[in-house]
Chain A
């Protein structure tokens, strides 16, 4: 449905996208996962015909993003990073405006947005600017859907929205998928990767990996040990002094530990911590999560770029 081939894009000296190739299947819920500056927005804007790639090509449902931009603009629904609603128009006025702009009416496609719009319908005469974050998000989604697009592109729809609204939002996306809409969504929240059919992990304009969340974790293949004690700060600092430590990062109440050769056992680490005077020590081997994988891949790619002498983007060489 969406096909991206060797796309690169540079702004001045910063390379936003570096040779990206990606296929997104029909009726897929596909996630672009990565922090700010990974290139998610640039990629989406190229697909939305808002930016021209420096090189490479992309097509949506067979239409080229550069040559056939008018066709694409008719068939996509797009929700940019900031909810682009008219704050001074009411909920209803926003919805009707976007419907007419796309040459349709609210009545015609009401069925599609009903589940989402019904949440905010009681506030129909309220100005969009006076809605809560979660409600704005729902209204923006309704507006992006009102012309029944084949492809829905959402740029960080859950950023800055609280955990509950985020959960609801993903449920809505799942329902839309059933209505045969291909959905491309970007997010900086790693945990949301698990809600997608397939994801692309992005970092600094490159793809770290593209696959289903399950497969990505499977491929990772590193053993992760989760440790906890009564003092997190000391726990992390001490774990980092452990001779065979590759990475030590806080994950909620645990610290996740990996070693270079995966040869550290649970009791080895436990003893080390007890020896260092930690109390209530608990160590167990766990299944890595997407975030573990992302950090692992990130570190690999950083090491590679350091090895290749590629130190641009970084003000100091000492960054690890």
Chain B
């Protein structure tokens, strides 16, 4: 895996808000096709880091490239090559399923003909053909999440950022959602995901755990468990945060 090309590369990434250091010299690489788990307690600095990587916020210092583009000068190119989905869903509640799909296709400049094809394919895959003209507001939570994810990768981005994508859904839907993530990763899309479910951390290829603005651990779940002499990721997490 380490032979693969890094799609995200952060060297000494620092972000300060006044005297408060939200990200304290973060160093990590994320490789193509990886599912990268980005964990940490509330307020550990995860959201700050994601914002920087998505080009929404400028770091105080550090060398960072995302999808091969420089975080300072090429934010527009970065935005074209990433997908983003947050826990609040990026879908418009008062638009229908197809309208949302077309909207995002349009935003990311997918040609009209291609957009129609994509829409068809996506509706079939999610078994949403019959619901295509329903408003998002009326869909069950699990469906919205799946659709939001599919829309986020509609333009085949190099990387997709998922910020707590599975909060509050039932265990079956949660796993179906992860099926989609695996599938995307299998297609070569790099997945950068944050979660509070520790069992989900185990699904990741590699996991980084943040605490108080620093990355305290970064490795495969397997190695982390060995390193911290823990039975599962939950214990690893607790051991790191309580240290």
Contacts and interface: CB of A to CB of B under 8 A. Distances in A.
A236 B242 CA distance: 34
Contacts of B197: 189
B140 A313 contact: yes
B228 interface: no
B167 interface: yes
A35 B141 contact: yes
A167 B173 contact: no
A161 B197 CA distance: 10
Q: Is the interface of B mostly helix, strand, loop or mixed?
A: helix
Interface in B124-151: 127-131, 134, 138-141, 143
B43 A35 contact: no
Given A36-B169, A163-B198, A315 B233 contact: no
B167 A295 contact: no
Given A232-B182, A250-B203, A35 B173 contact: yes
A251 B199 contact: yes
A250 B178 contact: yes
A316 B130 CA distance: 6
B41 A162 contact: yes
Contacts of B42: 132-134, 160-162, 165
A163 B234 contact: yes
A253 B170 contact: no
B226 interface: no
A298 B172 contact: yes
A318 B167 contact: no
A132 B212 CA distance: 11
B175 interface: yes
Contacts of A219: none
Interface string B171-189: 1110100110011011000
Interface string B153-179: 000000000001001111111010011
A178 interface: no
A249 interface: yes
Interface in A216-250: 232-233, 236, 249-250
A249 B41 contact: no
Residue of B141, B175, B237 with most chain A CB atoms under a 10 A cut-off: B175
Contact of A253 (B183, B222, B238): B222
B29 interface: no
Given A162-B40, A162-B196, A291-B171, A232 B128 contact: no
B127 A37 contact: no
Interface residues of A, number: 41
Contacts of B140: 37, 313-315
Contacts of B70: none
Nearest to B185: A233
A257 interface: no
Nearest to A292: B171
B171 A318 contact: no
Nearest to B221: A253
B237 to A, nearest CB: 5
A190 B171 contact: yes
Contacts of A38: 170
Nearest to A134: B42
A162 B234 CA distance: 11
A149 B232 CA distance: 37
A66 B183 CA distance: 51
Contacts of B131: 315-316
A35 B138 CA distance: 17
Contact of A188 (B168, B202, B203, B234): B168
A137 to B, nearest CB: 10
Interface string A287-298: 000010011001
A36 B182 CA distance: 24
B241 interface: yes
A122 interface: no
Contacts of B172: 249, 295, 298-299
A309 interface: no
Given A164-B41, A252-B233, A315-B128, 16 more contacts: A35-B168, A35-B173, A36-B168, A132-B42, A134-B42, A162-B241, A163-B196, A189-B197, A190-B171, A236-B179, A236-B182, A252-B199, A253-B222, A299-B172, A316-B128, A319-B127
Interface of B: 40-44, 127-131, 134, 138-141, 143, 164, 167-173, 175, 178-179, 182-183, 185-186, 196-199, 202-203, 221-222, 232-234, 237-238, 241-242
Task: Across the A-B interface, give the 5 residue pairs with the lowest CB-CB distance, nearest first.
Answer: A315-B131, A35-B170, A133-B42, A252-B202, A162-B41
